[in-house]
């Protein structure tokens, strides 16, 4: 029997409460919460990947605003002090990770909500309460979007299909069913049996540690492979489709996702296998004309040379550790959103879908 999805993150208490999230750095061997009572704790959780995945980062950031303003006494603080603190908190949280657009989208939405509330009509305490409700709305909307993505995307999958996925785009990266994994979970709900080949996703092994863990808990046939085995799996005809998530999508459909996604898309094209991206509409950044403008986070040397505490590279060796790469739109068969499937992927079809 499948186990119900874990609550990746949740708010505990009222406007003076805190954010609790699954510490994903401990999976798959320990399922343990991390409680964030300060904005610094939320920033650290995002930075070190205790919470990760574009939608989940956005939700965590929204709750992070609620945590951050708790340094004020809601009964005595002035509206000017609240405005200043919101600006400080949103600016600070925006420095945690540069690539996932949901982070900035959520912070802008929280800031916009505060600005929309008339100081003449609402007290500081009422604005704080309203901000918590806004964060909860972001959370609820993501849950609904993930289920809708699954409904649209499951139509692309048939019974007995073999699928390759990369990194983690399940409930751990969002609020419940996930984006890419929502297709698999929904297909399972419909009675389809799938086999999912899960790339390890080096250097931090999100596929091995997180995606394989989620799929096994749902009793979906799961095969863990090293990243460099995907081509052989395709060549042997074991996989008929590739499905990944996304962290930011440019106006033309170029898509940033975990490093290794671009290479997987090239392999899929070579073997005549469709490559799909699953992402909610708030992952699109229409201010960027193409993927060339998407900022790519470069992470520390130690993730490569001393991954998980074991030295695997010689002392003093240079490293290059980009956390993401960009898959050109012409390699993507379709982008599955909560509104439907965008195919072919181009500016016109993206705008038409997002405005529907």
Question: Which portions of the chain are predicted below pLDDT 50?
Answer: 1
- Report the predicted TM-score, pTM, of the whole model to 2 decimal places: 0.87
Other C-beta atoms lying within 10 Å of the C-beta of residue 304: 17
What is the per-residue pLDDT for 4? 58
Least Cα distance to 11 among 65, 50, 48 occurs for 65
What is the per-residue pLDDT for 173? 83
Contacts of 213 (CB under 8 A, 6+ apart): 27, 28
Least Cα distance to 45 among 70, 19, 68 occurs for 19
What is the per-residue pLDDT for 41? 98
Same fold, 9-146 and 152-354: no
Return the CATH superfamily for domain 152-354: Translation initiation factor eif-2b; domain 2 (3.40.50.10470)
Q: Which of 247, 254, 285, 325 is catalytic?
A: 247
What is the per-residue pLDDT for 2? 54
What is the token pair recorded at 105? 């989208």
Domain residue limits, the chain:
9-146, 152-354
Query: 1 by DSSP, 3-state: which?
Result: coil
Strand pairing class (248-250; 255-258):
antiparallel
Indicate left, alpha or beta for 242 from its phi (over 0: left) and psi (-120 to 50: alpha): beta
Least Cα distance to 236 among 164, 183, 334, 180 occurs for 164
CATH number, span 9-146? 1.20.120.420
H or E segment and range at residue 82: helix 79-93
Contacts of 152 (CB under 8 A, 6+ apart): 336, 337, 338, 339, 340, 341
- Give the integer Cα–Cα distance in Å for 41 and 5: 24
- Give the integer Cα–Cα distance in Å for 100 and 352: 23
Place of tokens 């500016």: 347
- Give the integer Cα–Cα distance in Å for 18 and 63: 8
Q: Is 247 a catalytic residue?
A: yes
Least Cα distance to 252 among 354, 351, 355 occurs for 351
- In Å, how far are 11, 184, 324 from 203, measured between CA atoms? 31, 25, 12
Compute and round to an integer the Cα radius of gyration of the chain: 20
């Amino acid at each position: 029997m499948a186990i119900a999805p874990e609550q990746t993150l949740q708010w505990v208490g009222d406007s003076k409460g805190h954010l609790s999230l699954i510490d994903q750095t401990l999976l798959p061997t320990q399922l343990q919460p991390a409680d964030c009572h300060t904005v610094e704790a939320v920033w650290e959780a995002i930075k070190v990947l205790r919470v990760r995945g574009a939608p989940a980062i956005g939700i965590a950031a929204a709750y992070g605003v609620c945590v951050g303003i708790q340094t004020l006494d809601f009964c005595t603080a002035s509206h000017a002090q609240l405005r200043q603190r919101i600006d400080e908190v949103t600016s600070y949280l925006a420095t945690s990770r540069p690539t996932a657009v949901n982070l900035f989208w959520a912070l802008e939405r929280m800031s916009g909500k505060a600005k929309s509330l008339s100081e003449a009509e609402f007290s500081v305490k009422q604005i704080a309460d309203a901000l918590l409700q806004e964060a909860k709305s972001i959370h609820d909307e993501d849950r609904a979007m993930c289920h809708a993505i699954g409904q649209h995307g499951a139509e692309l999958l048939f019974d007995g299909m073999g699928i390759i996925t990369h990194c983690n785009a399940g409930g751990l990266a969002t609020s419940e069913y996930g984006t890419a994994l929502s297709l698999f979970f929904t297909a399972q709900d419909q009675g389809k049996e799938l086999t999912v080949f899960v790339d390890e996703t080096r250097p931090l092994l999100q596929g091995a540690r997180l995606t394989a863990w989620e799929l096994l808990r749902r009793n979906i046939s799961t095969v863990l492979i090293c990243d460099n085995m995907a081509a052989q799996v395709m060549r042997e005809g074991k996989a008929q489709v590739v499905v990944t998530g996304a962290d930011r999508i440019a106006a033309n459909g170029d898509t940033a996702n975990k490093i290794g996604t671009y290479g997987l898309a090239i392999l899929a094209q070579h073997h005549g296998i469709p490559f799909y991206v699953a992402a909610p509409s708030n992952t699109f950044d229409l201010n960027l004309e193409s993927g060339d403008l998407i900022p790519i986070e470069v992470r520390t040397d130690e993730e490569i040379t001393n991954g998980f505490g074991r030295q695997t590279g010689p002392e003093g060796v240079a490293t290059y550790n980009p956390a993401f790469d960009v898959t050109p739109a012409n390699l993507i068969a379709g982008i599955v959103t909560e509104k439907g499937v965008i195919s072919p992927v181009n500016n016109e079809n993206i705008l038409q879908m997002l405005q529907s």
